[in-house]
Structure 1
Amino acid sequence: MLLAFLLVGAYAVVILRCWYAWKQLPEPRLSTDTPPAFFSVIIPVRNEAQNIISLLQDLERQQYPASHYEVIVVDDLSEDATSELVSQFQAQTRMPLTLLFLADFSGKRQKKAAVETGIQHAKGEWIACTDGDCRLSPQWLQTFNQIKQDQSPKMISGPVAYAPTQTLWQQLQALEFSALIGVGAASIAVQKPTMCNGANLAYEKAAFYEVNGFKGNEQVPSGDDEFLLHKIHQKYPGQIAFAKSSQAVVQTPAAATITQFLHQRVRWASKWKHYESLSSQALALVVLGANVAVLVVLLGAVFNYCSWGLLGIVLTTKIVPDALLLQQVLGLFGKKRLLSLLWFLQLVYVPYILITAFLGLRGKYQWKGRELRTA
């Protein structure tokens, strides 16, 4: 019981530090006088016929000089009408739009190869990445450019929020995902970056090549975002920024089913064993340890090894720091009402994280209609 309490206490200290670090993050103020950099927006897609046009329309509506950005869609063997829809949009838009087919490049497969192929054809000095099922604000590129001007980073990580959040299932996912965004942003603030999201990411093209891109983790199907984050931080410590701005928020849909959700989380968890960053490994162990501790104390209370009062203390020690951090992150997303679900989320979170941690060690999951395994 003492060990369990110490583990939860360590978790509380980490999350409180994240809460304080989040509050210290600078918020960009957009200025029309900021000189525009040229951005190449890379969108790797597979089977996004339902979403891709909305994303392209968002990019067409960017409040950014049309002469200073291009869009490159890289189709990863889609089995639906994704490429046809992009071609039709390409024919009627004035926005510089290129459609590439990964099948045309020998030996190229899956998302990392799609991103890398897009970068090889990019004209921009900066790369901005998002996914085919995302939605963007009109100030998305302008915000990235402002942060580039203000902070001179090599990489900018942006916030991602789940939308819509109409059902309880969507709301619980949005709440949990917001915590991940908050911890990732805070880790950047203390210059020990652990995580980011490829749905909202920008980096200097020269820096990508300076760290040899995705070389070294090709065996991991995903991780085009976090492995690159760690490599750029190692090469350029202190030159990672976080876009703490509601205008930089990218919206993406939550998993539609429990099966899809579990495969997504197993895919994420399967990357942990490949992290070379000690801070990332330590954070994963602290989170896992705290949730195991909650389960141990709960079982102890059920079987009369400890009091229910101790369980209440342990839960409060864990949840209060979570609430403080989430209040800040959800405020950025305009979703503070989701905080009321935090106690309920805790009940389902413990078994969920144990299951995904175990399955993540196996590294087997489905993604975009493919059966994949992380070596």
Structure 2
Amino acid sequence: MLTIIFFFFIAITIIQFLYYLGIFSKFAFIAPATFTSKKIPVSVIVCAKNEEENVKKYIPLLAEQNYPDFEIVLIDDASSDETLEVFEQFEILYPNVRLVKVKNNEAFWGNKKYALTLGIKAAKKEYLLFTDADCFPNSKDWITAMTSQFTLNKTIVLGYGGYQKRERSLLNKIIRFETILTAIQYFSWAKVGKPYMGVGRNLAYKKEEFFNVNGFINHIQVRSGDDDLFINEAATKTNTTIAYAPESFTYSDPKETYKEWFNQKRRHVATASHYKLFDQIQLGLFYSSQLLFFLLAILLFAFQFQWMIVLGLFLLRYLISWIIIGNSAKKFEEKDLIFWYPVLELVIICTQMNIFITNIFSKPVHWK
């Protein structure tokens, strides 16, 4: 039995090597990002529901972008606080702000995709750039950095949406590490021609891509996924690229408690069950191989079975993954996480297992 476990451990280790060396290295060792303004007319789209305080802080930062031709489409999704009133003030204050007021619709009650659809249809520009109401750009050249990646063929641009740093907070490190691990995956798969998701905190595409797949209609019944499910359906090897210059990043305030973050990740995992079969398999195989790698190694160490070979493979896998994660973290300006990598990886693996089990017995709650 231990011999079978040993060879199974070797197979799992090889799978991990294939992911890190064959896929994730494509982003980790990519050349530094550069960009040049193409001055493409752009509609920046922000959908908000009960985000009064956030929009007060962050919409002015969007209005101050150093870009010659852009409008800001503000979508109020039937807010019950003062969000709409704040948006109306911005409409008066900024000449390039367009306001879309969404009233509750019985057929699409509380469905963010319905609100976004109205905003996309109202947008006057052909190129759309999305962020969330609780996000802010990393620089005044955010629009420039994101739209510079558009070409005649590349009509979908995947960006990075990070979280602000909090000093002396382990939870903050966990949140940011999970975020860069997710970004490494979807950036790397896009580089090898298999894009499967993007994040609504920082995403751009040409309006025709939205109508080519009939918008969100094929997954309108799924309350989440206006970003990743859309990209999973619309993105291809030929039409998708990535933006990873620091100027292209956006940031959000991280969750303050583990429970809040855990519930957020439950929603994301539940949405992934609607991905294309290949994408579900590759994600499931990666996360399950991570878990099995540690469980099998511990078991073999406990019985001291071929322990020198097991230790060698264990250390080699860690060396390879640490280098690749570390190079990627530098690109995301998250260098402080590199030292914590072994601890953070174990926490993420345990959290993912907990999420998987929890989602079996209860459904996560979606849009506000």
TM-score normalised by length of structure 2: 0.89
Q: Distance in 2 between matches of 1:290 and 1:240?
A: 28
Q: Confirm or deny: 8 A CA contact 1:275 1:281 kept in the other structure.
A: no
Name 2:166's counterpart in structure 1: 165
The structure-2 alpha-carbon separation of the partners of 1:315 and 1:198, relative to structure 1 and needing over 3 Å to count, comes to farther
Name 2:320's counterpart in structure 1: 321
Name 1:10's counterpart in structure 2: 15
User: Residue 264 of structure 2 aligns to which amino acid in structure 1?
Assistant: Q
Q: Distance in 1 between matches of 2:71 and 2:273?
A: 36
The structure-2 alpha-carbon separation of the partners of 1:360 and 1:308, relative to structure 1 and needing over 3 Å to count, comes to farther
In the TM superposition, residue 30 of structure 1 has moved relative to its aligned partner by 3.4
Equivalenced residues, count: 360
Q: Distance in 2 between matches of 1:340 and 1:165?
A: 16
* Helix, strand or coil at the partner of 2:298: helix
Q: Confirm or deny: 8 A CA contact 1:147 1:243 kept in the other structure.
A: yes
In the TM superposition, residue 125 of structure 1 has moved relative to its aligned partner by 0.4
In the TM superposition, residue 317 of structure 1 has moved relative to its aligned partner by 4.5
Name 1:56's counterpart in structure 2: 59
User: Residue 322 of structure 2 aligns to which amino acid in structure 1?
Assistant: A
In the TM superposition, residue 306 of structure 1 has moved relative to its aligned partner by 4.7
In the TM superposition, residue 37 of structure 1 has moved relative to its aligned partner by 1.8
Cα deviations by residue, 1:162-212 (Å, 9 ceiling, x for unpaired): 112322210121112111111110110000112221111000101110111
Q: Distance in 2 between matches of 1:270 and 1:314?
A: 33
Q: Distance in 2 between matches of 1:74 and 1:247?
A: 25
Q: Distance in 2 between matches of 1:173 and 1:201?
A: 20
Name 1:248's counterpart in structure 2: 248
Name 2:40's counterpart in structure 1: 37
* Helix, strand or coil at the partner of 1:4: helix
Q: Confirm or deny: 8 A CA contact 1:62 1:138 kept in the other structure.
A: yes
Name 1:372's counterpart in structure 2: none
Q: Confirm or deny: 8 A CA contact 2:20 2:324 kept in the other structure.
A: yes
* Helix, strand or coil at the partner of 2:146: helix
In the TM superposition, residue 355 of structure 1 has moved relative to its aligned partner by 1.2
Identical positions, percent: 22
Q: Confirm or deny: 8 A CA contact 1:40 1:123 kept in the other structure.
A: yes
Name 1:264's counterpart in structure 2: 264
User: Residue 154 of structure 1 aligns to which amino acid in structure 2?
Assistant: T
The structure-2 alpha-carbon separation of the partners of 1:122 and 1:91, relative to structure 1 and needing over 3 Å to count, comes to same
Name 1:190's counterpart in structure 2: 192
Cα deviations by residue, 1:237-262 (Å, 9 ceiling, x for unpaired): 32100002111011122222111111
The structure-2 alpha-carbon separation of the partners of 1:254 and 1:293, relative to structure 1 and needing over 3 Å to count, comes to same
Q: Confirm or deny: 8 A CA contact 2:78 2:104 kept in the other structure.
A: no
The structure-2 alpha-carbon separation of the partners of 1:352 and 1:28, relative to structure 1 and needing over 3 Å to count, comes to closer
The structure-2 alpha-carbon separation of the partners of 1:360 and 1:126, relative to structure 1 and needing over 3 Å to count, comes to farther
Aligned 1:1-375 pairs, distance under 5 A: 1=5, 2-23=7-28, 25=30, 29-31=34-36, 34=38, 36-65=39-68, 68-94=69-95, 96-103=96-103, 107-108=107-108, 109-136=110-137, 137-149=139-151, 152-166=153-167, 167-234=169-236, 237-299=237-299, 301-302=301-302, 304=303, 306=305, 312-313=311-312, 315-361=314-360, 364-367=363-366, 369=368
Q: Confirm or deny: 8 A CA contact 1:222 1:267 kept in the other structure.
A: yes
In the TM superposition, residue 361 of structure 1 has moved relative to its aligned partner by 4.3
User: Residue 117 of structure 2 aligns to which amino acid in structure 1?
Assistant: E
Q: Confirm or deny: 8 A CA contact 1:29 1:146 kept in the other structure.
A: no
* Helix, strand or coil at the partner of 1:220: coil
Q: Distance in 1 between matches of 2:142 and 2:351?
A: 33
The structure-2 alpha-carbon separation of the partners of 1:299 and 1:261, relative to structure 1 and needing over 3 Å to count, comes to farther
Q: Confirm or deny: 8 A CA contact 1:126 1:203 kept in the other structure.
A: yes
User: Residue 180 of structure 1 aligns to which amino acid in structure 2?
Assistant: T
Uncovered stretches (5+) of structure 2, i.e. residues with no partner: none
Q: Confirm or deny: 8 A CA contact 2:160 2:243 kept in the other structure.
A: yes
Cα deviations by residue, 1:322-367 (Å, 9 ceiling, x for unpaired): 3223222221232212111111113322321111123344561134
The structure-2 alpha-carbon separation of the partners of 1:28 and 1:344, relative to structure 1 and needing over 3 Å to count, comes to closer
TM-score normalised by length of structure 1: 0.87
